[in-house]
Structure 1
Amino acid sequence: MADRFVTRFAPSPTGWLHRGHAFSALSAFRAAQSRAGRFILRIEDIDATRSRPAFEEAILTDLAWLGLAWEQPVRRQSEHMADYRTALDRLQARGLVYRCFRTRREIAEDIERAPHGAMEAWRGGPLAPDDEARRLAAGEAYAWRLSLDAAARDLGGFGALSFIERGNGPNHETGLIAARPELGGDVVLARKDVGVAYHLAVVVDDALQEVTQVIRGQDLFEATHVQRLLQALLGLPTPTYAHHRLLLGPDGRRFAKRDRAETLRDLRAQGVPPAQLIAEFGLD
């Protein structure tokens, strides 16, 4: 991995950016500036059903309005599916993933029936060959899931996995953190109709773009555990992580696209200057 400080902001064009996005983007950009490093913008548009060109255009406009500048060209995940397919093929060849035909509802019901209820991370496994062949012939939808049991056998357990946290997790985790991918269960890495899912795409992209510092919100701290596992399985470098606090709205809830939080687009239209936001965030 390159010695130079390299970080990124990686939004999905599935809605308008809000204050929380602005805080995260500015935090990463200013960290790169302070270390004479590189700042990368990546568009994570693998969700073709929700991604929209208008949202991507607004992302570029919003970030420029905030005073950010980034390297060109911008990497769009939808243009690099072959990279993710190669990574998935490697995991398949080693028997680390399996086809899962269960729906989210069925998995939720399995968890509820488990002795520890919702506290139990779901694990499955491959179907019998005849059953899998029958379902494939019927055209049933499936997801490729990472088998934690197979991964543990491959690595000789997870005890050696760790990552460095320079910020704070939601429970004040900082410093050298022992990775616990078992907390997430058998996560989805790809679906039949989509060549990749979030966890696999992000570790491949971070490695290809030589990202050394991942700066993002505390809501993604738990994702780091499974991403550290994927880095180990694929022989990819591990960035240093810094998870920052989440901005909260007047109701005490964090800003989120699904809640239709006040958007940067709205603030621009109202004539709010970027300096006002920067001061509000305590970044001035």
Structure 2
Amino acid sequence: MRYPGGSSYYATPSMSIPPGVKWLLVSNVAIFLLYFIATIPQPGYGWLFSPFSLTPVKAVEGLQVWQVFTYLFLHDPNGFSHILFNMLALYMFGKTLEETWGTERFLRYYFGCGIGAGLCVILAGYLTGDPYTSTIGASGAIFGLLLAFGVLFPDSTVLMSFLFPIKAKYMVMIVGAITFLSIPKSGSGVSHVAHLGGMIVGYLLLKTSFGQRQLNRSRYTRESLLSRVTGAWREYRLRRARKKFQVYMSKQNRKDGPRVH
């Protein structure tokens, strides 16, 4: 599935890439290239990366708990579409969110969604009796970013599948519905549980006090220009009123003569 991308709104217009998104882009691409090279010729040394993919039985029974984090940096080495669309979505939506939230809070949200999606994959693996299938990719965290963008900037215009203009809030609804309806399908090679898990965890994070602070901050970013203009206008009117009052008092003082104590 192609990720929705592109936006007509940026919280802080800038051509530069913020440090959090830049670090994620560089690290994901670098690890993908190493993974890709290691699998030439097939299977090559791809097995070196298997301890870092997310396999429920290994993460739980083998106590390889780091997998809920490391799987976010691995992408399918047999093609470029997996990492390409993840990184495009990370840049298009993550850039705006990081400029709105700040690097620390953006990374906390990103990894919160990714790790939460990983926990959903583990839970689903045991519930369906298939805890041996491995999952890789940053899609869980990316879908969390899509959810956050749709919540914070619902009326901004994005390009669905990089082609069709649509409001962000409708894009999130459509993507969420498609993901949910795709979960029963097996054999597709796509972890729809991770996608939906990332969106659910992202929504829960936005509903916490952490998320409310981010919502308030995003509203401030969008309204700051108007607030500054109206504030400057009120200050100007106050100065004028104060000046008129001083002129009036000085006239009254001249009429009544000097004050004595």
Structure whose residues are more often strand by fraction: 1
Normalised TM-score (structure 2): 0.25
Structure whose residues are more often helix by fraction: 2
Normalised TM-score (structure 1): 0.24
- Which one has the largest radius of gyration? 2
